[in-house]
Structures are given as C-alpha cells and as structure tokens.
Structure 1
Amino acid sequence: MKCLIIEDNEFLREALMMFLRGVAESETAGDGREGVDRFTAALRQGHPFDLVLLDIVMPEMDGMQALRLMRQAEKEEGSPGRKSVIIMTTSLNSPANMEEAMWDGDCTDYLVKPVARADLMAMLHRHGLL
C-alpha cells in the first residue's frame, strides 16, 4: 500500500509513519499545498496513493482545501472510478467539521487525535486496505 501523510506537526507525522511501518510505503508532506503537489504528481505518474492521512488544521493550505483539490485532481488526472482512501485527522472533535469533510469534501473517514494505532489499523481493515 502506498500512503501519503499530510501533517504539519513533525512528531505526529513520525508517529503515523511508525504506525504504518511494515504495512505501507509512506511519504510525508508538512502542509496542504505540498500534499496536493505530491498527490497530483503521483496521479500523473500513474502511481496514485492508496491512502492519504490528511490533517484538517494546517498552515499554507488547510485540509479541507487540500481534500477538494485532491478529489478534483482524481477526476481530471486519475483512472475513472478509482479514488484514494482519504482519512481526515483532527484534534477538533466537531461534528460540523466532520460533516463538511464527509459530505462536501468526499473524504472516506476521519480519526480524532490523538490517533491510536489500533484505531487506524481497524479503519484500514474496514476500508479494505489491509
């Protein structure tokens, strides 16, 4: 599985990479703009990410903006009918934010921080990635 972790907090990026060690080839980005660029480049090269872990609150470009741009890139650059599993990560336990991400942004699922490895693995199983 190929994974992109988009998270501005270096400690959390490293923790997520450690959680996925042995189950995913992970790349990272420190903000939404860099994440969208990596995501789009992978689509263009024909090697899209299977999984994206996307923080909502980040500098430069927030996760909601990045989510919309990644879904748009999939429509324009990707294979028809194929979408990456995009899991939003947030410390904001806000139903309004999650509703916006799920319905308006077309994210696959979300995890509230701090993310536990067991919760992440269960979610990957649920979405057929493990």
Structure 2
Amino acid sequence: MIGVLVVDDQSMVREGFAALLAAQPDVEVLGTAGDGRAAVEEVRRLAAAGRVPDVVLMDVRMPRLDGIEATRLLLADPGAPPPRVLVLTTFDLDDHVYAALRAGASGFLLKHAPAAELLHAVRVVATGEALLAPEVTRRLIARYLETGPARAEDGERPARLAALTPREVEVLRLVARGLSNREVAEELVVVEQTAKTHVSRVLTKLGLRDRVQAVVLAYEMGLVRPGG
C-alpha cells in the first residue's frame, strides 16, 4: 500500500483528492493537512507512530507555511526517513515551481491534470522515481531553469562533473532531456538494466537524491540548455 498525506488549503480540493486516492486499492490516505506547518506536524506525528507517508501531495500556495518551505523542512528533518513530495500547482507558470524542485520535490503536477495522471504520478513518485514523464514537467523545468538562478560558467563544470566518466556524462544529458531508463538504454544501445545502473551511479557520484535533482544540476552546469 502507498501511504499518502494530502496537503491543500482548500478543503474541497483536499477532500476531493483524498477521496480519489482512497478509492484506489493500492493507496491508503494517512491524513490531510490545510497548510505547510500542519503538514510538517502531521508527518512527524505519523513518523512517531511508525508510519511515514510514502508520498506527500503538496500544494504550493498556502497560509502559515507554503509548500516549498514545508518541503524543505520535511526533507531536511533528521528525525525520520523523508517522504517523497509531489508538488501540486494551479498555474503552469507558477513562480514557485523551480524553487520547489530546488527544495527537493520529486516532481510536480498541475491541479487541473486528469485524475488518471494524478494517480499515475503518485505511483511513480512512490517507487522512488522522479515525475519527469509528462511533457508539461519537461517544459516547465526548461522554462524555469532558463530564468532561474544563474548556471555555472564552463570553467566550473569539471569541479562538479569530474567524478563522472564520459559515458556517465552522456547518461546525465539524456536524463536531463527527460528520458526514461528504457529510452536511455535505446540511445546508448544497451540493455535497460545497464542504463539503470549508469543512472544510479551518476546520482551516487554527484550526491543527488533523484532524477529531478539530476535534471536541475545538468541545466545549471550548462550540460543541456532549455529547448535544446
């Protein structure tokens, strides 16, 4: 069962998501919260009871504590294994999306996405993967990295990427383009398990938690460019 905490300041939205998820045979809604501070407190309460949520469905714009800061606190909390955070946003050009990725979110989804897409997103994130498959995710990452914090200059790249082999650098480029392990394997003409191993080594060597962080780093290092 996938344990989910639903966080949104609008009660109808919160209850709607909770009802949709609770109706799935492989999902258990562990609780809900109306703002970021309540979300952090609820995750800590659940952790104390031995039930850390697998996924926190996190709204961005909320009172008391927004979803970005709540995500940052949850993922930095040394008291329990961190949940995966799937950020929900109302606007496809929300100024906070890039910050949410930087805070360690495993992906994000537009609130008006179809129910099937939401369910798919929760299941993908619960497995430990980043939600990079939908075209909107790749587009938004590109847009925000284009206008977000300045990327490192060319001379700075070796310091961060020196630990990677040429093949691993190529794997990082492919991951940054939003390719799945299967698609990476096809590009490199290797079996999927080999591609998966390469991706895992890249994440480990760079000290990254998941593919979303790899995408952000690749863009910041100038390894790939928005739209390129």
- TM-score grouping bracket, smaller chain normalisation: 0.7 to 0.9
Which residue in the other structure is 1:16 paired with? Answer: 17
Residue 124 of structure 1, CA deviation:
2.8
2:86 touches 2:109 (CA, 8 Å); kept in 1?
Answer: yes
1:84 Cα deviation after fit = 1.8
Provide the secondary structure at the position in 1 that maps to 2:88. strand
Which whole-Å deviations, capped at 9, do the CAs of 1:50-86 have from their partners, x for residues lacking one?
A: 110000000111101111111111xx1124xxx4221
SS at match of 2:87: strand
Q: What is the number of equivalent residue pairs in this alignment?
A: 123
Q: Given residue 64 of structure 2, which amino acid in structure 1 is its aligned partner?
A: E
Match of 1:33 in 2: 37
Is the counterpart of residue 98 in structure 1 residue 97 in structure 2? yes
The equivalent residue for 1:123 is 121
Task: Give the Cα separation in 2 of the matches to 1:64 and 1:14.
Answer: 21
What is the rounded CA distance, in whole Å, between the counterparts of 2:126 and 2:71 in structure 1?
A: 21
State whether structure 2 residue 53 is matched by structure 1 residue 53: no
Identify, as 1 or 2, the structure richer in strand.
1
SS at match of 2:105: coil
Residues in 2 aligned to 1:100 and 1:5: alpha-carbon distance in whole angstroms: 20
Separation of aligned partners in 2, 1:96 and 1:31? 19
SS class of match (2:96): helix
Per the alignment, in what secondary structure is the counterpart of residue 34 of structure 1?
helix
Distance, in Å, in 2 between the alignment partners of 1:107 and 1:62 is: 13
Change in CA separation of 1:56 and 1:115 when aligned onto 2, cut-off 3 Å? same
Q: Equivalents in 2 of 1:128, 1:66: separation in Å?
A: 19
Which residue of 95, 106, 109 corresponds with 1:108? 106
For 2:124 and 2:85, locate their aligned partners in 1 and report how far apart those are by CA, in whole Å: 13
Give, in angstroms, the shift of residue 96 of structure 1. Answer: 4.6
The aligned counterpart of 2:83 is 84
Checking the alignment, whether the CA contact within 8 Å between 1:55 and 1:89 is kept in structure 2 is yes
Structure with bigger helix share is 2
Give the conservation status (yes or no) of the 8 Å contact 1:44–1:77.
Answer: no
Distance 1:105 1:88 in 2: 11
Q: Return the offset for 1:22.
A: 3.3
**Under a length normalisation based on structure 2, what TM-score does the superposition of the two structures give?**
0.50
Unaligned runs of 5+ in 2: 128-228
Residues 61/127 of structure 1: CA separation in 2 closer, same or farther (3 Å cut): closer
Determine helix, strand or coil for the equivalent of 2:57: strand
